[in-house]
Structure 1
Amino acid sequence: MNAGTILGTIQRTLIPGTFLFILAVGLTLNMPVIWILVFRVKRWNRSTIFLCNLVLADITWILTLPFLIYYHLNQLHWIFGDALCKITRTIYHVCYYCSIYFVTCLSMDRYLAIVHPLKSLWLLNKQQSLLICLSIWAVTSLASVPVPYVASTQICPDNKTICSLYVFSSSTYITLPFSICCTVVGCLLPFIAICYCYCSSVRTLQKTGLQNFQKRDKLTKLMYSVLIIFALLYFPYHLSRNTCIFLRALWPNVNRSIEHADTVFFVEVAVCSLNTCINPLFCFLAGGDFRDQVCKIPQFRLANMFVY
């Protein structure tokens, strides 16, 4: 089986299968979370605001999945028009990086509460947290403006209409710097910030003695969860994406290498998309009020036991 056949199989089976799983499991996990945050949590704080925006970003992208599932099951034939193709691809890009930034905000919130408990009350209040969330949505949306210009519908020789990703665009003079910039600003810098926040927080808790052992244990779980997500989901995705564009920019005629890179990229798209099913974990690890409300709901008690 050659690379082209494997690539076609992945696009027609792995991608729609994964998206169907995310549509079912992601909505099942995220919808109760947003319901608890909105209707059960009475006192909203900084963590609640960041958690709510994280879940909203995941739900927004999940709601576009039915179009993509039909597209991949329909032998990669897009029937929904060019505008919806651009919107779908842009929503993925915006929500993907918003998700990373909101996880980073949760890490910074823990850092301020532990390392600077008194200063944090005026350094980052609820109004400022809401403003940060709105700024993240706005800046990420503006930064995603190139996506609809290079991602659009294309008619193939067999009269099949595809909804292309910007990764596969021939305009590499746009896509390569854009992808590298997104990798640095949207992945590497948040990861560095998260590492600094958690390392500083753990050191502070270690100095305070055994009375903060439980808090340190919870923070350690949260830190390891974020590191694993970055290691398994975010870093490989960015590496494979940049490789695809890099090969097209330098060796556009080396079809075999490009096909192999595209295959790896589509696998990473499937794997990385699972973050929408994993992010609700942060609600248990980071949201104290959220956990309290979950404990009052009998069907969630078993899940909550595993967090502790």
Structure 2
Amino acid sequence: MALSPTSIPANLSNDSTQQNSLCSTDIPYVGMIATYIMIISVLGIIFNVFVLMVFFFHKKPCTVAEIYLGNLAGADLLLTSFLPFWAVYVGNKFNWTFGKTMCRLTNTVIHMNANCSNYFLVLVSIDRYLALVHPLSHETMRRPGFAKCGCLLVWGLGLLLSVPTIVYRKTQTDYSNVTICFLDLDDKTYLTFQLVLITFGFVIPICTISFCTVKILKALKNRMAEGVHAQKMENKATTLVPVVLLAFLICWVPFHVMRILSLLSRFKIVPGCDFYRNVAYSRQFFSYFAFFNSVLNPILYVVVGKNFRKKAKELFKQWNTKRFTTTMTLYTRTTQMSMLQQKTS
């Protein structure tokens, strides 16, 4: 199906451009893309629900790091829960069948929680930075009350960055009876919106996470120099920190590079249909690839964590104990009833 530039969607922003209205594109492999989105959605829901269950049902209160990780899992869960709508949209060759309200709601939730997820990673990085680099200072910033306030600010920031999506996301049916879900903005507003997203959605998070990672690695290196025991104890942490940063870079850098190239194409800084088509194809792929970070987050930040594994094991033991107690109680009651029936008979 041939798609005009105004009908090429993106989850986090608009790819449309009137200047390239003469360029047409066929988005290839829509079936494979839809399947990939559904796989991300299913895995993200399973992993993040598991994380939230461990934090919610465990008897001990959450630490500061676990408060951030719980909110991170919540943001990733909301994001992946709404991805099936977009998978159906792609599978239908970009024909939106869920109505105008769901067009706005789906894109707002995806957009908001993508930004929230990134900033919860920032909070986790800052917390680890304070814990390892400044363990004896900034104690106030590592208290649960402060952590909860930080999470509220992140949710508020995510909602604020999503205001244009809430207001300007629309549906439109073309001459071939295909309904598209797109962001309807003029050039000036669109450019401002994109620059804000690039700055607050990527530049600030990546700079903060990179700074914390470098400082953490230096602190761990100094501690490992103190003895072999310390080196063994902190070897996993030393490995995990750069892996987390690398995962964030791999998932989000290509997406934001494509976002910048889309701006260059929209405003004819780099003209030509070939460039436009290549950017449109790449933008589709890397938009969905970025969401894979919501599957990696619970693995890298939580499931690999020693404390989380300990909590999960304790929770399973707690459930098994309750199940055993309930079974024994039912067995005892059944036995007693049987004995009473035999005596009366």
TM-score norm. by structure 2 comes to 0.78
- Give the match for residue 19 of structure 1: 37
TM-aligned CA distance change 1:294 to 1:221, over 3 Å: farther
Provide the aligned C-alpha RMSD in A.
2.4
Structure 1 position 79, deviation (Å)? 1.7
- Give the match for residue 61 of structure 1: 79
Matches of 2:41 and 2:122, distance apart in 1? 25
| Residue 203 (1) aligns with residue 213 (2) | no
Does the Cα contact within 8 Å between 2:25 and 2:277 map onto a contact in 1?
no
- Give the match for residue 142 of structure 2: 124
Which residue identity is paired with 1:294? A
| Residue 9 (1) aligns with residue 28 (2) | yes
Gaps of 5+ in 1: 299-308
Post-superposition Cα deviations, 1:203-227, rounded to whole Å, max 9, x if no partner, equal 2233231242134322222222222
- Give the match for residue 273 of structure 1: 291
SS across alignment from 1:117? coil
Which of 157, 160, 172 is residue 175 of structure 2 equivalent to? 157
| Residue 191 (1) aligns with residue 206 (2) | yes
Segment of structure 1 superposing worse, 217-226 or 262-271: 217-226
TM-aligned CA distance change 1:91 to 1:252, over 3 Å: farther
TM-aligned CA distance change 1:124 to 1:213, over 3 Å: same
SS across alignment from 2:115? helix
Post-superposition Cα deviations, 1:209-263, rounded to whole Å, max 9, x if no partner, equal 1242134322222222222223311111011022113311236984432222111
TM-aligned CA distance change 1:111 to 1:231, over 3 Å: same
SS across alignment from 1:250? coil
Q: Where do 1:267-306 residues align within 5 Å?
A: 267-281=285-299, 282-285=301-304, 287-296=305-314, 297=316
Post-superposition Cα deviations, 1:68-115, rounded to whole Å, max 9, x if no partner, equal 222222232212111210111111111111111111111111111111
TM-aligned CA distance change 1:114 to 1:53, over 3 Å: same
Matches of 2:240 and 2:198, distance apart in 1? 23
SS across alignment from 1:75? coil
Identity over aligned residues, as a percent?
26
Matches of 1:217 and 1:172, distance apart in 2? 50
Matches of 2:188 and 2:155, distance apart in 1? 26
Runs of 4+ in 1 over 6 A off after TM superposition: 2-6
- Give the match for residue 275 of structure 2: 257
SS across alignment from 2:96? coil
Gaps of 5+ in 2: 4-22, 318-345
Higher relative contact order (CA 8 A, sep 6+): 1
Which has the larger helix fraction? 1
- Give the match for residue 233 of structure 1: 251
Matches of 1:159 and 1:229, distance apart in 2? 41
SS across alignment from 1:119? coil
Structure 1 position 146, deviation (Å)? 1.2
TM-score norm. by structure 1 comes to 0.86
